[in-house]
A and B are shown apart, each in its own frame.
Chain A
Amino acid sequence: MKLYCLSGHPTLPCNVLKFKSTTIMLDCGLDTTSALYFLPLPLVHSSRLSKLPGWASKDGTVNLEKELKECAGRVFVDSQPEFCLPERELLDLSTVDVILISNYHCMMALPYITEHTGFSGTVYATEPTFQIGRLLMEELVTFMERVPKAQSATCWKNKEIQRMLPGPLKDAVDVWSWKRCYSMQEVNSALSKVQLVGYSQKVELFGAVQVTPLSSGYSLGSSNWIIQSHYEKVSYVSGSSLLTTHPQPMDQSSLKNSDVLILTGLTQIPTANPDGMLGEFCSNLAMTIRAGGNVLVPCYSSGVIYDLLECLYQFMDSANLGTTPFYFISPVANSSLEFSQIFAEWLCQNKQSKVYLPEPPFPHAELIQTNKLKHYPSIHGEFSSEFRQPCVVFTGHPSLRFGDVVHFMELWGKSSLNTIIFTEPDFSYLDALAPYQPLAMKCVYCPIDTRLNFHQVSKLLKEVQPLHVVCPEQYTQPPPAQSHRSDLMLELQPPPMAYRRCSVLGLPFRRRYERIQLQPELAKALVPSEIKPGISVATVSAVLQSKDNKHVLQPVPKPTPVPPSKKRKRLMEEVPELLSPKPLLSGSIPLDAFLASLHKSGITEVKVEETADGHILHLQAEDALIQLEEDATHIVCDNNEPLRTALRDLVLRFLQKL
């Protein structure tokens, strides 16, 4: 059993598990942090961005003015942003049988994997994961295709040149494997391979392995996966949360008794408390609005935004924000808001019971109805005529490199009245802001990451007690910026097996048993005998049938009697069937009882001779010899087959057969 680790990003994992005869990919996250090395894609022509100076090395040997631009001392690639894909060389991806998706953030690389690699398997995901994942992909594609950039910069990737670039560009790894965004056609093709599953649904893979998604409590439809056979159990934990937000609570008890637990997707901000951040978010928002400024919230179109809207719904009136317009701008804003209301089965109890009334589970329906929240596909069109300030805008992409957010950065960046509040934890806010410097607008960092923190995870692991834990190497040491915080790492006994990008781990498994079915006719014909108190044995002779990795034992068919033919007259010539071994024997033969039974069968003249290891019995009338020892019996008997078989059966009566 092996684990191939194709991603080094602990919250955007991509691992391949070889388990029994199956090859299972666990998630395929797309690392979009690589976009931070690129210049933002403005929706409207930005004179500021177009006037940025090109970059050339100080000594003038390298001149990449066309590809690289300098802004506030940092160098950015002027090209369509590219993403860092999971490793595609470590193993042949066409051999992957299935891909299990844990949540919609962890499937963004799907089109890169399912298209152009020869992949011909099935992708399993829950319905909300599938639907919202589709929306996020659609949004990403729209962001990119809306502002096509003819230029594709590649010179800077040249190893010799990259070495001479200033940091952090110099230190970017694997830049040649970075890829531009996929097309909608590729997204559709990838998603056509998805098969929907529900929580606790047992899915059989080739009869060898059973996979089951479990609620992970992190987002709508998010799941952890159990991969098991009758004897081995692997738990894959990815992006889980124990906080009560909108999704169904995490199913912890089903993770018990795992041989191996693969742990990914812990919180990226272990020091921030999500509840505290939510409070800070609200107060900063209210303060800015009160001062007449605008608030920009760069965010994904699904997930925490539902909680933010719910929080604002409760907070709005008390904070006198009743008349402030809230805008949600995304090509998929409407769909995301609508979809959130139809997944009652996947929501927490509290929200589920609302649907029974029947009322929409999320209060943003009311915000929309009362015109407090408005959503638009983009800044163009309707929005531009209805836009009022001061206002609050939720829009993507949180990297600030593409999407409508770029426009608001250009628009509001110059005024210190405005505030940008970062809530998504995926990007360093300083890096995100770098190409907009110098900036007058206020920046507030309130990362809300509801995923498990180290305290919660160690409690969880104590509870479910896996034999072995596998995790990204980042979790085995404190974060680099807080190297003294030994509480911000996993400390386990035995220590977790750590992986990094391109690791191949052998998982500590010893498979010893497999499930087999005895057909009822066979089971009925078995003759058990008690060997020790409470332990019985029975010899089984049967025909093995294996189909689709399922094994069945059938009774041995009775040989069809051969019609007597002239050639077969001499019965003695019938050669005994090859390879039908007798059972093994065990036990010993008590002398007195054996002599008694000899006597019973008419053998009376027995001379017993004691030897070092036992006895020798001379059957004088019959001229035969039986040597009895603790663990062996030897019958010497010439030319008298009936006698020999009689003695054999007599001996067998005292022995156990296995």
Chain B
Amino acid sequence: MPDIKVTPLGAGQDVGRSCILVSVGGKNIMLDCGMHMGYNDDRRFPDFSYITQNGRLTDFLDCVIISHFHLDHCGALPYMSEMVGYDGPIYMTHPTKAICPILLEDFRKITVDKKGETNFFTSQMIKDCMKKVVPLNLHQTVQVDDELEIKAYYAGHVLGAAMVLIKVGSESVVYTGDYNMTPDRHLGAAWIDKCRPDILISESTYATTIRDSKRCRERDFLKKVHETIERGGKVLIPVFALGRAQELCILLETFWERMNLKAPIYFSTGLTEKANHYYKLFITWTNQKIRKTFVQRNMFEFKHIKAFDRSYADNPGPMVVFATPGMLHAGQSLQIFKKWAGNEKNMVIMPGYCVQGTVGHKILNGQKKLEMEGRATLEVKLQVEYMSFSAHADAKGIMQLIRMAEPRNMLLVHGEAKKMEFLKDKIEQEFSISCYMPANGETTTVTTNPSVPVDISLNLLKREMALGGPLPDPKKPRTMHGTLIMKDSSLRLVSPEQALKELGLSEHQLRFTCRVHLQDPHSDSDTLSRIYSHLKSVLKGYAVQHLPDGTVMVESIVLKVSSSGEDPNLKVILLSWSYQDEELGSFLSSLLKKGLPSGL
């Protein structure tokens, strides 16, 4: 029995370092290759030694697919391809291909240049890794090899985020990456067709959350920012350079314009300008509204938002600063946070999920004293607000996607075990399908039941469809007979006659002849008529004919009557049938043996 195996190396009952191995139809695929923000040691990257102990992965993987540019989905890619060793194809969409190397370089700089780590991938490795990337277009069917094909769908999580359908023969798996089922200010909603995969591997970040409407959250966000500004406070919004940042910029830009606000908005990193440029060039990946109006007004050209300089952090008066990274675990956002944390007039708004171990995660849990490098502690007096702007599907969205794709099995990754548990029950109840949630290193095996494709001769099919009538009768299904010829790898279903002809065989005729003795005091021809009437009444639905040459035909079985010389009342009925009519012939001989009913 064929089966599909799924093993998460990362993101199994966890968020971070997404990396999922899938084996389907003899093909091995790695889905995402991310890093974990919460660790600074070996656990930062997935454990590739699970795949092989001795070195390179090329022989063990048919392809690698990256769903989007967030580092927890692609951060380990250069390590995997250049340091562990993988030379096969890496698939990602064009925007991901464009943005991914920039974030990787950023990540490398922070790790190597600032923290001084060695034994890390180099800039050259990032470049070499990106050379192995094959760009994917939405809905394009990419033939990885003769059997393995992949197809990308819009996921709406960040620019260029994709879900992918992996198909080998009639077996298939869908991996969602991170996705969002509600369109936002700059991206559209995820969409997939009814592809009925054997397994749907879905993220489950917000497995238990059902979020209020986006409009409410936006109003809330603007209100909080506005209030802080009004009382002269500073607002820090830690973000990743690409993604939520653009959505929030659009939001603030329009709000500032409408309210005629004067307080400065800054964006902390040099990346921004560039980032916004990517959005302009990949405008086809944004939502419909932006796409439609981009010729008149490009939404990613901001008037109110200016570049940030480090010295501005000490400026007096209100301001709003977007700073990277988003989880306050390093870099500029953390520096600004340290400066502003002591003033209760200020506010930090966390617009997305923070993994365990980061400063972001700690303050969201209400921690008021933070231990910093050295022995210093930092007192957190400023207001901490959490606004879920990260574009993940919530429980409702996940259910919606299941309804769209109609999978046979469900597998959850990229979420917390407890929350997964809850969603798993809900899915199993509502859809009556199995739902799995393997931990890292744990393999889930799903048995598939693929049907066998066969070439049927058009003659046979047409004949059968014509005989079947325009509408099938569910009570009395028609049985079709054919011969399956198996030669090399081809399977052809033809009519038995055609099979004989094709194989150069001649038909062997098997016939039976049977004489039945019957006492019937009538003339031979009367007896024949009586037999005819009898059969006619018994065999309803059969072609029973009385032929002028003194025989009765039932379908293709011939009956003849003669009487023996000695006893004219003793009739001999001669029955002759071929093997094809065996059942009917056997039935007739037994029937006639019992004599004719007297009523005739």
- A-side residues, CB < 8 A to B, are 127, 197-202, 212, 230-231, 334-335, 338-339, 341-345, 352, 355-356, 358, 360-361, 511-520, 523, 526, 528, 531-532, 534-546, 551-553, 556-557, 572-573, 575-588, 631-639, 641, 644-645, 648, 651-652, 655-656, 658
Contact = CB atoms under 8 A, between A and B. Distances in A.
Nearest to A545: B472
B139 A198 contact: yes
Given A358-B281, A541-B481, A582 B517 contact: no
A525 to B, nearest CB: 12
B485 A537 contact: yes
A342 B137 contact: no
Interface of B: 94, 97-98, 135, 137-142, 151, 274, 277-278, 280-284, 294-295, 449-458, 461, 464-465, 468, 472, 477-488, 492-493, 496-497, 499-500, 503, 505-517, 538-542, 579-584, 586-587, 589-591, 593-594
Contacts of B515: 638-639
Given A358-B277, A516-B493, A575-B542, 14 more contacts: A198-B140, A201-B141, A342-B284, A344-B281, A355-B98, A515-B456, A543-B478, A543-B479, A582-B579, A582-B582, A639-B515, A641-B590, A644-B514, A645-B586
B341 to A, nearest CB: 35
B509 A641 contact: no
A460 to B, nearest CB: 21
B465 A546 contact: yes
Contacts of A651: 510
B144 to A, nearest CB: 12
A634 B513 contact: yes
B132 to A, nearest CB: 15
Given A542-B480, A584-B497, A639-B593, A513 B457 contact: yes
Q: Which of A516, A582, A638 has the most CB of B within 10 A?
A: A516
A130 to B, nearest CB: 11
A342 B482 CA distance: 55
B248 to A, nearest CB: 21
Contact of B480 (A534, A544, A588): A544
B482 A520 contact: no
Contact of B94 (A345, A540, A648): A345
Closest 4 CB pairs of A and B: A632-B509, A584-B496, A517-B451, A576-B583
Given A512-B458, A576-B587, A538 B513 contact: no
B49 to A, nearest CB: 33
B539 A575 contact: yes
A586 B138 contact: no
A356 B127 CA distance: 13
Given A582-B582, A648-B512, A515 B484 contact: no
B580 A581 contact: yes
A227 to B, nearest CB: 16
22 contacts: A127-B284, A230-B455, A513-B458, A515-B454, A516-B453, A517-B452, A536-B486, A539-B482, A541-B480, A543-B479, A575-B542, A581-B580, A582-B579, A586-B508, A631-B509, A633-B509, A635-B512, A639-B514, A639-B515, A639-B516, A644-B512, A648-B582
B456 A537 contact: no
Contact of B282 (A344, A528, A634): A344
A338 B461 contact: no
Contact of B484 (A127, A526, A634): A526
Nearest to A576: B583
Contacts of A345: 94, 135, 137, 284
A537 B581 CA distance: 22
Contacts of B587: 575-576
A577 B539 CA distance: 10
A634 B586 contact: no
Given A538-B483, A540-B493, A632 B140 contact: no
Most chain B CB within 10 A, of A577, A578, A635, is at A578
A516 B509 contact: no
B478 A635 contact: no
Given A344-B94, A551-B461, A586 B500 contact: yes
B505 A655 contact: no
Contacts of A648: 510, 512, 579, 582
Contacts of B487: 534-536
Contacts of A546: 465
A512 B499 CA distance: 14
A578 B500 CA distance: 24
Contacts of B510: 585, 632-635, 648, 651-652, 655
A537 B484 contact: yes
Contact of A520 (B280, B449, B483, B499): B449
Given A535-B485, A576-B587, A631-B508, A199 B477 contact: no
Contacts of B468: 544
Contacts of A526: 484
Contacts of B482: 539-540
Greatest chain B CB density within 10 A among A540, A631, A635 is at A540
A519 B453 CA distance: 9
Contacts of A631: 506-509
Contacts of A531: 503, 505
A556 B480 CA distance: 9
Contacts of A355: 94, 98, 281-282
Contacts of A585: 507-510, 579
A513 B450 CA distance: 21
A538 B486 contact: yes
A213 to B, nearest CB: 10
Nearest to B583: A576
Contacts of B581: 582
Contacts of A645: 586
Nearest to A574: B587
Contacts of A127: 284
A201 B140 contact: yes
